[in-house]
Amino acid sequence: MPARDHFHSVMRIGPVQIGTHRDRHGRTQHAAVCTADRCGWSSDFSSRSAAQLAARTHRCKVR
Ligand SMILES: [Zn+2]
């Protein structure tokens, strides 16, 4: 399962993993990454609640 090295504060909602990391501008970003094989969905959010909402509403193409 893909995991970014610099993730911390990782939590999981369904197949989606949420981790906090810093982008290359030094800002804290909350990334939501689907861990399902062949899905590949991931997205960065500026707030944790936005990432959690996206994780809850993510509709995985892969079952
Ligand atoms: Zn997915």
pLDDT at 1 over 50: no
The dihedrals phi and psi of 62, each to the nearest 5 degrees, come to -100, 135
Dist. CA 33 → ligand 1 center (Å): 8
How confident is the model over 9-50, as pLDDT tens digits?
Answer: 789 999 999 999 888 899 999 999 999 989 999 999 999 999
Dist. CA 12 → ligand 1 center (Å): 12
Dist. CA 28 → ligand 1 center (Å): 23
Identify the pLDDT of residue 4: 52
Q: What is the DSSP string of 3-63?
A: --TT-EEEEEETTEEEEEEE-TTS-EEEEEEE-STTT--EEEESSHHHHHHHHHH---S--
Q: How confident is the model at residue 52 (pLDDT cuts 50, 70, 90)?
A: very high
The dihedrals phi and psi of 48, each to the nearest 5 degrees, come to -65, -35
Dist. CA 9 → ligand 1 center (Å): 20
Dist. CA 62 → ligand 1 center (Å): 6
Q: What is the pTM of this model?
A: 0.78
